[in-house]
């Protein structure tokens, strides 16, 4: 871009790993970036829940539990983030609880977590950006200067030449259907699965010899001692329980207390430990947790409109998929702006 040319204004909707990666890459190339997110802080499904009543900090990773690293692009970032103290390897004993016994093969996977919470990466990326939290984007409308981004009240949040949506596929489809039908149609093909997450804290440690487990029967799909991850307080003993997609869908509109009542006994039954009453518990519903049939497009971008979308659902799921999707969308936007 010539130095005397005013950089285009670019809006990114969503402050998860894909949106913040995309925004950071474009900001480093001199573009004017604004990121909007309806939550109180960054992270999306990499969020970490604070529980001041327990006397602990960022310690309940109630969405993404860890991530793996396979691509050279993420390898380079992880090396940098490790040096900065933003991530650390999680040398956990992770097993699979199967109907016919325990499978130890999951121990071979190399896992990485954010420190002191999974949202640490997103918080680091958001530091250098104009990121506006507590803002729900409800519509995007064309005007003579570009795209007007509107909030729930219909007020304008600004006008931008480029708008990039990183929300889950159903929300992306709804937001873009009237302005970028081709992208909306692709997003509409993706079926997102829900996940009920239960956070529990125990005064006395749960007596098991593993840190996390995939559960291959019953309502649960995953349980993890979040207090066993690096840079976390170890007391009280804190666990995250994830219900499987089918059970979560069947109980999607249940009250959180009823979900806890169902999943807590299932937890003790699965791990084979005596049940005990938690000192604290909380249920959280992820309505759009994981794509059942993710795209392999990488990202979606219409350069003639200046409208794009990215996220894990557009690139094979997982944290690494979301990161690479944001990276690819930034590259496509940059190339289009230089044509």
pLDDT in tens, 214-251: 999 999 999 999 999 999 989 999 999 999 999 999 99
* pLDDT value at residue 84: 96
How many Cβ atoms from other residues are within 10 Å of residue 110's Cβ? 11
- The 3-state secondary structure of the chain, one letter per residue: CCCCCCCCEEEEECCCHHHHHHHHHHHHCCCEEEEEECCCCCCHHHCCEECHHHCCCEEECCCCCCECCCCHHHHHHHHHHHHCCCEEECCCCEEEEECCEEECHHHHCCCEEECCCCCHHHHHHHCCCCEEECCCEEEEEEECCEEEEEECCCCEEEEECEEEECCCHHHHHHHHCCCCHHHHHHHHCCCEEEEEEEEEEECCCCCCCCCEEEECCCCEEEEEEHHHCCCCCCCCEEEEEEECHHHHHHCCCCCHHHHHHHHHHHHHHHHCCCCCCCCEEEEEEEEEEEECCCCCCCCEEECCCCEEECCHHHCCCHHHHHHHHHHHHHHHHHHHHCC
pTM value is 0.95
pLDDT in tens, 186-201: 999 999 999 999 999 9
Query: 50 - beta bridge partners?
Result: 58
Catalogue all structural domains in the chain, each as residue range(s) with its CATH number.
9-41+122-190+296-337 (3.50.50.60), 52-117+192-291 (3.90.660.10)
Q: Is 267 a residue whose pLDDT tops 90? A: yes
pLDDT in tens, 142-151: 999 999 999 9
């Amino acid at each position: 871009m010539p130095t005397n040319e005013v950089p285009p204004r670019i809006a990114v909707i969503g402050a998860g790993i894909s949106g913040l990666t995309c925004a950071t890459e474009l900001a480093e190339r001199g573009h004017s970036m604004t990121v909007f997110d309806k939550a109180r802080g960054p992270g999306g499904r990499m969020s970490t829940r604070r529980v001041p009543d327990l006397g602990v900090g960022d310690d309940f990773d109630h969405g993404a539990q860890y991530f793996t690293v396979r691509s050279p692009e993420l390898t380079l970032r992880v090396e940098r983030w490790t040096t900065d103290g933003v991530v650390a390897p999680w040398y956990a004993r992770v097993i699979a609880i199967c109907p016919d016994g325990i499978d130890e093969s999951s121990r071979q996977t190399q896992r990485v977590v954010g420190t002191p919470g999974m949202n640490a990466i997103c918080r680091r990326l958001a530091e250098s950006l104009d990121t506006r939290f507590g803002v729900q984007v409800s519509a995007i409308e064309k005007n003579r200067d570009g795209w007007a981004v509107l909030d729930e009240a219909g007020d304008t949040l600004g006008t931008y030449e480029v708008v990039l949506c990183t929300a889950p596929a159903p929300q992306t489809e709804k937001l873009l259907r009237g302005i970028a039908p081709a992208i909306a149609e692709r997003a509409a093909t993706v079926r997102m699965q829900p996940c009920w997450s239960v956070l529990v804290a125990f005064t006395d440690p749960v007596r098991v010899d593993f840190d996390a487990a995939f559960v291959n029967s019953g309502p649960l799909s995953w349980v993890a001692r979040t207090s066993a991850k690096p840079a976390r307080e170890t007391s009280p003993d804190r666990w995250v329980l994830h219900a499987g997609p089918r059970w979560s869908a069947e109980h999607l509109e249940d009250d959180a207390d009823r979900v806890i009542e169902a999943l807590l006994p299932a937890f003790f039954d699965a791990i084979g430990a005596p049940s005990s009453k938690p000192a604290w518990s909380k249920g959280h519903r992820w309505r759009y947790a994981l794509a059942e049939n993710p795209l392999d497009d990488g990202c979606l971008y219409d350069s003639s409109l200046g409208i794009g979308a990215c996220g894990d659902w557009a690139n094979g799921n997982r944290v690494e998929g979301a990161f690479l999707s944001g990276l690819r969308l930034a590259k496509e936007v940059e190339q289009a702006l230089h044509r």
